[in-house]
A = this chain, B = another copy of it.
Amino acid sequence: MSKRYRVVQYGIGPIGVSCLRTVLSKPSHLELVGVIDIDPLKVGKDIADVLGLPDKTGVIVSSNADEVLSTSRPDVVLHTTSSFLARMYDQLVLCASHGVNVVSSTEELSYPYHRHPAISAELDKVAKENGVTLLGTGVNPGYAMDALALMATGVCNDVKSITIHREVDAGLRRLPLQQKVGAGITTEQFAEKKATGMFGHIGLVESIRMIADGMGWSIDRVEEQLDPVVSDRIVETPFLTIQKGQVAGIHHHAYGYDGDELLITLDLKMFVGALNPRDEVVADSNPPMNLLVKGGIFGDTATVATLINNIPLVVEASPGLKTAKDVPLPRAFGTR
């Protein structure tokens, strides 16, 4: 019989809510002992009422993270508050200072060492001082375009380059994802959003850096490019209708170079009406490697699964700031 883990959910946006539903669906393996969120519409309510569940859980949403962590003594925090590390650094430090391990969906935490070296060093120090493990992960970044690619090369010699394709049919995903990729906007609106620098997928650079680190490769230049996928037909989703000529989604690609040598290529397409949804890793290697997840990994469900599945790994890991390449390979948890 496996250990039952005490869990606090920190952040109850869409991903947090899905995490909560999954935690509550595995009572033999997970016990929800606290929920933290700042939304005044949710604070003070039993989480069952927030989720629309018939039976009270006794777990009340609180905005006082310090108090929740002090009183509930969790094994792990499932942390789903922001994509950006600088915004939630204090939250991680607070969890660590209470001696609590963290699995976080924060994209920038999936491989923070390059973009945020000082914060990373500090988090690693705080984690070790408090004997806890901090892990940022998810399906992408954290799995589809980095960890899975590393794993694919695990049976290869002589890897010269790695190319990763992820094509996602945004039409099958939740509305926020469709909006996130710009489905239904005009190409002019796309250009405006792109100009803000706050548009597109977050994590390609982190994925390239994680792969390079895992492979022991030096990368001296990363190039990113973000283009619209323009729909060549009318496509309807349960939420939106995309007209011909409107934006269906994003084509976001990134390249990692060592000098003039292109070592890592990430090719991410997320758009409504994708015709060949898949995750594919191609390594120019001996033996050659072409790994395909048919249909692609369905992100909404998979992101939550990844967070949940890493709970035992994070609890068992040696202390420190870790990434998906540092912990044992993930596997489903609490399925029976």
Contact = CB atoms under 8 A, between A and B. Distances in A.
Contact of A158 (B158, B318, B335): B335
Interface in A249-291: 258, 283, 285-291
Given A157-B305, A301-B157, A325 B325 contact: no
Given A157-B22, A295-B288, A325 B332 contact: no
B285 A289 contact: no
A66 interface: no
Interface residues of A, number: 59
A218 B2 CA distance: 11
Contacts of A318: 318
Q: Quick one: copies of this chain in the complex?
A: 2
Contacts of A290: 293-295
Given A287-B297, A287-B302, A305-B157, A151 B329 contact: yes
Contacts of A134: none
Nearest to A292: B292
A330 B147 CA distance: 10
Contact of A157 (B151, B215, B304): B304
A153 interface: yes
Given A328-B326, A328-B327, A336-B217, A154 B150 contact: no
Interface of A: 2, 22, 139, 143-144, 147-148, 150-160, 214-218, 258, 283, 285-295, 297-298, 301-302, 304-306, 308-309, 318, 324-336
